[in-house]
Amino acid sequence: MKIPMGLIAVLCLVSPTLHAQTSPTFDCAKATGEVEKLICADDELAALDRKMAEVYAKAIESWPNEEVTKQRAMQRGWISGRNDCWKSDDVKACAVLEYRTRIAELQIQSGQLMVPPPVDFDCEGGEDKRFVVTFYKETDPPSAVITYGDDQVIAFAAPAASGAKYTADDTEFWEHQGEATVDWYGTKLLCKPR
């Protein structure tokens, strides 16, 4: 099959652009460790790395200086955690999840998403504090900001046999058939939407 010269010229012009679009934000020649090398070799991870950079830059612009200092330290910690995915049975799945959850956290914390209406709950065992959940369905994975009294966590959708389950470190919210069971740092609550 003979390829027309015009098509070859177009492909030569487009090819460097396509490569630039699938590269991560860091220099792959300096990549160290299994995870960074995987990001350089994988288009999905490279795209997530670029999205992370975009969301992080927008977040930094929106925060006051003291929050920027705190978030820069958190970002360095996140990179270290992402790089620890080499210990996982599925390194890529771990890295994808790390990127997606951090992107969602940054989008929520910096106000890059429209805030959905919060849902108030009445809870047995926690009547002394207000319990509110704000569900963000447009994040990937879906997420929920769970507020109990003055404390707040961002939890992410987790597999459940039925209903909707969101988990974070030491917190689980599972809503099923109009009731929610909650484990908030060891405190068990049974809640119903108001």
| Best CA proximity match to 95, nearest among 78, 111, 107, 83 | 83
Give the Å distances, CA to CA, from 8 to 16, 25, 62, 102, 110: 13, 29, 45, 41, 45
Higher pLDDT, 93 or 9: 93
Is 165's pLDDT higher than 50?
A: yes
CA–CA separation, 177 and 194 (whole Å): 14
Beta strand segments in the chain, E = 119-124, 131-136, 143-148, 151-158, 164-168, 171-176, 179-184, 187-193
Query: Which pLDDT belongs to residue 7?
Result: 35
Q: Which residue segments constitute the domains of the chain, with CATH numbers given?
A: 30-109 (no CATH), 119-193 (2.40.128)
Long-range contacts of 137-144 (CB under 8 A, 24+ apart): 138/113, 139/100, 139/103, 139/104, 139/107, 139/108, 139/113, 140/100, 140/103, 140/104, 141/97, 141/100, 141/101, 141/104, 142/166, 143/101, 143/104, 143/105, 143/108, 144/173
pLDDT on residue 21: 56
**Three-state secondary structure call for residue 154:** strand
Among 57, 115, 103, which residue's Cα sits nearest to residue 78?
Answer: 103
Give the residue-averaged pLDDT of 158-184.
94
Question: Encoding tokens for residue 169?
Answer: 């470190």
Q: What is the DSSP letter of 142?
A: -
Report the amino acid identity of residue 102.
R
**Could you read off the pLDDT of 68-123 as tens digits, one per residue?**
999 999 999 999 999 999 999 999 999 999 999 999 999 999 999 999 999 999 99
pTM, 2 dp: 0.82
pLDDT digit string, tens, across residues 19-75: 445 789 999 999 999 999 999 999 999 999 999 999 999 999 999 999 999 999 999
